[in-house]
Amino acid sequence: MTEEPKTEKKKCMGKGKAMFAYGIIQLSSNLVSAIALAAIALSFCSIKQESKVFNECVEDVQASGKNSSNAVRFCNGGN
């Protein structure tokens, strides 16, 4: 009877190590997700600024007398 609790304790120790490893893996995956979301948020800032510059370019070219499609083509790098 005294040996039964020892075997149960050994089974719990194995589960404890597995749960610890699972916790570390969860924590690291959450960290990776947070870093990825921060990178996405920072890229949205640059896209917003780039679209503002593009819109200003189109407006300037349209003011010089070209139609919308030609203005867009010019601002995209075309002739």
Q: Which of 6-15, 29-38, 58-67 has the lowest mean pLDDT?
A: 6-15
What's the Cα-to-Cα distance from 63 to each of 31, 59, 67, 68, 74, rounded to whole Å?
A: 49, 6, 9, 10, 13
**Whole-model pTM above 0.85?**
no
| Rounded CA Rg of the chain | 30
Q: Tens digits of per-residue pLDDT, 41-74? A: 888 888 888 999 999 999 999 999 999 999 999 9
Cβ-based neighbours of 73, under 8 Å, separated by 6 or more? 79
Beta-carbon contacts of residue 49 (< 8 Å; ≥ 6 apart)? none
> What total of structural domains would you count in the chain?
1
- Its domain, for residue 22, covers 3-75
The DSSP letter of residue 30 is H
